[in-house]
Amino acid sequence: MQIYKVGGAVRDRLLGLPVTDIDWVVVGATTEEMLAQGFRPVGADFPVFLHPKTGEEYALARTERKSGRGYGGFTFHASPEVTLEEDLIRRDLTINAMAEDDQHNLTDPYHGQRDLEARILRHVSPAFAEDPLRVLRVARFAARYAGLGFHVAPPTLELMRQLSASGELQALTAERSWKEISRALMEDQPQVFIEVLRDCGALKELMPEVDALFGVPQPEIHHPEIDSGVHTLSVLEQSALHKQPLTVRWACLLHDLGKGLTPEEEWPRHIAHEHKGLKLIKAVNERFKAPKDCQELALLVGQYHTHGHRALELKASTLLELLQSFDVYRRPQRFEEFIAACEMDARGRKGLEQRSYPQADYLRGAASVARGVAVQPLLEKGFKGPELGEALKRERLKALKAYKENQ
């Protein structure tokens, strides 16, 4: 049997980037031979094994054929006769379809190295269209390598367009889509992911609520960029520049969805968009089965981001309600993430990227004041049950009023 490094490990080494996980392909072997060598089988669908010592993935060379809708509709054929070239041709992009032996000899039948040098993301063969997930993968690689000057080859973008128009994206499972989306959001330029999806018509299929923001104007005085979609991309860009976690980036992407629902007569104003957007945020959350912390933060940021911007003008009682809504006493981290998302929203505006955001420290201060109200003295006074809750609220309100006056 011959063993080769494939995919991302070869690509990233040639780009001079650090390689974290290595995928291997094995040519000329049977499942029995792999098991005899101590490899452990994983995955019921096709022959992939874990190395007994390193735990890295080794896949038998295989060919694939489409036999139905979605990813389930694939038949795999693995046998010792399948060649390296046959295995490589089923891969998505030419830069991902190179293999390397232990002497660093490159097998590159589809000119991945040429495309790496030319900074092009190009599909390997027309079979690209057989798995709609590849649309998301290409957009994710575009986001990851945008900083190096990569772009999608026009014929590949055209294939992605056809694939999006065919309705096949609807056959993707929430799990596969979320894996790509969440990884893409954590790249250095996540806004490029959304831009590429939009360019090929996939955004309209996957997240019509985000797609609908493009072409919707906002008041120029607060939003020099005017367009709501452009604003959303900038907010996402800021979230990556500021190294925000996934929860914050997801909330940034979805925070303004309500603006897509405003009747044209009301443009460029968006009265109550925070509230109107909640059902859209919920729908997107559920469509991709986003993790609970992402779902929760997106809804809270959607509902309260304007409160964040107006923090310094809020009445003490409104400030208290905001803090209660976030349960800042038990969930301080989530409130920090809310503040971060508001700050990204404020900076994700043309020409205002460097602005200061005094609201952040003000909100942190308010949270710590409210948190600092001690329960013990109230217990000593004999408060208990619902009355204790009311008394605590009164004390917190008093403390917040004093906090406001001292600013």
Where do contacts with ligand ATP occur on this chain (CB under 6 A)?
7-8, 21, 23, 91-92, 96-97, 131, 133-134, 137
220 binds, among ligand ATP, Mg ion, none (CB under 5 to 8 A by kind): none
As measured in angstroms, the least distance from the Cβ of 23 to Mg ion is: 5
As measured in angstroms, the least distance from the Cβ of 15 to ligand ATP is: 11
Residue 365 binds Mg ion (CB under 5 A):
no
Could you tell me the maximum CA-CA distance found in the chain, to the nearest angstrom? 83
Q: Pick one of 2, 4, 6, 8: the residue that binds Mg ion (CB under 5 A).
A: 8
134 binds, among ligand ATP, Mg ion, none (CB under 5 to 8 A by kind): ligand ATP
Q: Which residues contact 35 (CB under 8 A, 6 or more apart)?
A: 41, 49
Taking the least distance from each CB to Mg ion, the nearer of 21 and 81 is 21
Nearest-CB residue for ligand ATP: 8
Taking the least distance from each CB to ligand ATP, the nearer of 129 and 299 is 129
Burial class (CB in 10 A: 0-12, 13-18, 19+), 268: middle
How far apart CA 326 and CA 371 sit, in angstroms, is: 12
Taking the least distance from each CB to ligand ATP, the nearer of 135 and 400 is 135
Amino acid at 128: F
Nearest-CB residue for Mg ion: 8
Taking the least distance from each CB to Mg ion, the nearer of 22 and 399 is 22
How far apart CA 270 and CA 307 sit, in angstroms, is: 15
Distances (CA, A) of 385 to 133, 197, 325, 329, 399: 53, 53, 20, 18, 22
Taking the least distance from each CB to Mg ion, the nearer of 9 and 328 is 9
Residue 28 binds Mg ion (CB under 5 A):
no
96 binds, among ligand ATP, Mg ion, none (CB under 5 to 8 A by kind): ligand ATP
Distances (CA, A) of 132 to 44, 151, 204, 381, 382: 21, 19, 14, 65, 64
Taking the least distance from each CB to ligand ATP, the nearer of 87 and 211 is 87
Residue 15 binds Mg ion (CB under 5 A):
no
Taking the least distance from each CB to ligand ATP, the nearer of 24 and 335 is 24
As measured in angstroms, the least distance from the Cβ of 312 to Mg ion is: 47
Three-state SS string across 51-97, please?
CCCCCCEEEECEEEEECCCCCCCEEEEECCCCCHHHHHHCCCEHHHC
Nearest to 238 by CA among 81, 317, 343: 343
How far apart CA 254 and CA 160 sit, in angstroms, is: 24
305 binds, among Mg ion, ligand ATP, none (CB under 5 to 8 A by kind): none
How far apart CA 296 and CA 341 sit, in angstroms, is: 13
As measured in angstroms, the least distance from the Cβ of 208 to ligand ATP is: 24
- Say if strands 62-66 and 74-78 run parallel, antiparallel, or are unpaired: antiparallel
92 binds, among ligand ATP, Mg ion, none (CB under 5 to 8 A by kind): ligand ATP
As measured in angstroms, the least distance from the Cβ of 22 to ligand ATP is: 9
As measured in angstroms, the least distance from the Cβ of 96 to ligand ATP is: 3
As measured in angstroms, the least distance from the Cβ of 52 to Mg ion is: 20
Residue 291 binds Mg ion (CB under 5 A):
no
- Say if strands 74-78 and 99-100 run parallel, antiparallel, or are unpaired: unpaired
What's the number of CA atoms in the CB half-sphere (13 Å) around residue 353?
14
Query: Which residues bind to Mg ion, rule: CB under 5 A?
Result: 8, 21
